[in-house]
Amino acid sequence: MSDTHPGTTHPDNNNDRPWWGLPCTVTPCFGARLVQEGNQLHYLADRAGIRGQFSDADAYHLDQAFPLLMKQLELMLTSGELNPRHQHTVTLYARGLTCEADTLG
């Protein structure tokens, strides 16, 4: 179950640590910054966080979907659909989850 909190980037008002993902207004929410090296993306655990509480089933889906989403983003880099030199936002879907990603130019 998710909750929407309009106008906030910290859905659970947990402001005691930095938020590494794009702004989100829905909880639970997983956010991360990825580092690009060529057409590969690297996940850095210290640049990721969760807002809200995932159910066990949702956490399992996230665990299964995240590698698929990373692969989709890497394929978009390879094809040129994503270009790190130009800001572009994409929305991806995998296993019932939505991923919003931005190159941030």
Task: Give me the pLDDT at residue 69, please.
Answer: 93
Residue ranges of the chain whose pLDDT lies below 70: 1-17, 105
Task: Give me the pLDDT at residue 4, please.
Answer: 41
Give which of 42, 55, 51, 43 is closest to 18, Cα–Cα.
51
Give which of 26, 7, 10 is closest to 18, Cα–Cα.
10
Task: Give me the pLDDT at residue 92, please.
Answer: 93
Domain extents in the chain: 3-102
CATH number of 3-102: 3.30.450.20
* Cβ proximity of 42 and 67 under 8 Å: no
Q: How many CA atoms lie within 13 A of 20 on its CB side?
A: 15
